[in-house]
Copies of this chain bind each other. A is one copy, B any other.
Amino acid sequence: MLAIGTLSRKTGTKVQTIRYYEQIGLMNEAGRTSGGQRRYYEKDLDRLAFIRHSRQLGFSLDSIRELLDLSDNPAQSCAEADSIARRQLRQVEQRIKRLQALKKELKRMVAECDGESVAECKVLEVLRDHSECLTNHDEIGA
């Protein structure tokens, strides 16, 4: 039986995060000692490792919930899991695209300013006026 701190160390997850996963039903409710402390089996460790690795690959907790559900029924086809991964891939590609446009614009801003007064700062000038931009931006936070 593993204490929560052991799971924490073995997976690089904060203790509070593990409790949070329990709270939202992503981890099963753990058994307790007579004193009320959580105790885990190896399979809980595996599940947590799955969750954390999926998070590192950028999957949302909702996607991870689906993937875990699928993983629990080994007989069925994996089409669903693959489509979740492909969706994730598309999202990552989208984000890269957007960030590359930002990078280009930021690079230009920084390069064009020669560090004179604020009144002539190219950086601030661009921020004041999008028509100075070469690319157009999509929605904020996309």
Could you list which residues of chain A lie within 8 angstroms of chain B, going by C-beta atoms? 46, 49-50, 52-58, 67, 70-71, 73-79, 81-82, 84-86, 88-89, 92-93, 95-96, 99-100, 102-103, 105-107, 109-110, 113, 115-121, 123-124, 127-130, 137, 140
| B115–A79 touching, CB < 8 Å | yes
Q: Which of B74, B96, B102 contacts A103 (CB 8 A)?
A: B96
| B140–A55 touching, CB < 8 Å | yes
Assuming the contacts A82-B123, A102-B57, asked whether A76 and B118 have C-beta atoms less than 8 A apart, the reply is yes
Query: Cβ of A49: which chain B residues have Cβ within 8 Å of it?
Result: 128, 130
Copies in the complex: 2
10 CB < 8 A contacts A-B: A50-B128, A54-B127, A55-B140, A75-B117, A78-B115, A78-B116, A78-B121, A81-B121, A82-B113, A85-B106
Query: Cβ of A102: which chain B residues have Cβ within 8 Å of it?
Result: 57-58, 92
Bound-state Cα–Cα, A100 to B73, Å: 31
Write the chain B residue with the least CB distance to A94: B99
Which of A95, A99, A105, A115 has the most CB atoms of chain B within a 10 A radius of its CB?
A: A99
Query: Cβ of A82: which chain B residues have Cβ within 8 Å of it?
Result: 110, 113, 115, 121, 123
Bound-state Cα–Cα, A45 to B131, Å: 16
Query: Cβ of A89: which chain B residues have Cβ within 8 Å of it?
Result: 103, 106-107, 110
